[in-house]
Chain A
Amino acid sequence: MLFISNFVLGIYNIKFIHMKRSIVIFIIAAMVLITTGFWILSPGAIGDTMEYLHFGIILLIVLFALFIGYKRLKSEKRGEPAEDELSKKVLQKTAAWSYYISLYIWVAMIYIKDRIVMDTEIMLGTGILAMAVTFAVCWLVFNFRGIRNE
């Protein structure tokens, strides 16, 4: 048993030590896809336009995660670090901005909830998806625009 665990740990250290985060991204994307699949396959799951919209946004977010994972893997294959000072700064700025915008999203959701009849689960789901979309958009903006004088 000890031999097997040592063997597995050895392979892990050799091959996956630099790919850990990319693999985590792919695993999370797969889990989201599988969970969404269960939701879609459950009877009467997708009925109205709002649910189609949610499904589309989830797919977009999964595609975004796969794009980031692919970029990191490509960097690792070229012998470059998966993360460097620029990518870390982009991530920090993205996190800060998306948090700030998310506060306004939830204020807007509360405002909407008082005026439109909406299930709590739908409201929470929409808010969480809006947060994820905000994060993706902020990342794209900062990643392609760059970060100057900071």
Chain B
Amino acid sequence: MNNRIREFRARYNLTQDDLALKVGVRRETIVFLEKGKYNPSLKLAHDISVVFNVKIEEIFLFDDPAPST
């Protein structure tokens, strides 16, 4: 799974510290998220998408195709 957190952070002119404070995690967690070394919980992914005012799937990009229904 990839993500566009860095891109959105730059767009909203937020530092890693700012984003960490807004979503209630440590700065290291944002660093690990941006490097792709950690996959967030659904709650954290939701909080990040709320900060950037977009849908979760616009920030977090899944490599695998969606399961067929």
Interface residues of A (CB under 8 A from B): 75, 78-81, 84-87, 145-150
Docked CA distance A135–B31 (Å) = 24
Surface stretch bound by A, among B4-12, B35-43, B49-57: B35-43
Contacts of B25 in A (CB 8 A): 80-81, 84-86
Docked CA distance A85–B36 (Å) = 15
CB contact under 8 A between A85 and B37, given known A80-B25, A80-B26 = no
What's the least CB distance linking A141 to chain B, in Å? 12
Residue of B27, B38, B44 touching A146 (CB-CB under 8 A) = B38
The 5 A-B pairs at the shortest CB distance, nearest first, are namely A146-B37, A84-B25, A86-B29, A80-B26, A146-B32
Residue of A79, A86, A147, A149 touching B28 (CB-CB under 8 A) = A86
What's the least CB distance linking B15 to chain A, in Å? 12
What's the least CB distance linking A72 to chain B, in Å? 9
Interface residues of B (CB under 8 A from A): 1, 17, 20-21, 24-29, 32, 35-41, 43-44
Docked CA distance A85–B41 (Å) = 8
Kindly report which residue of chain B lies nearest to residue A86, judged by CB atoms.
B29
Kindly report which residue of chain B lies nearest to residue A85, judged by CB atoms.
B41
CB contact under 8 A between A84 and B37, given known A78-B17, A79-B21 = no
Residue of B1, B21, B26, B41 touching A87 (CB-CB under 8 A) = B26
Docked CA distance A41–B14 (Å) = 54
Contacts of B41 in A (CB 8 A): 85
What's the least CB distance linking A94 to chain B, in Å? 15
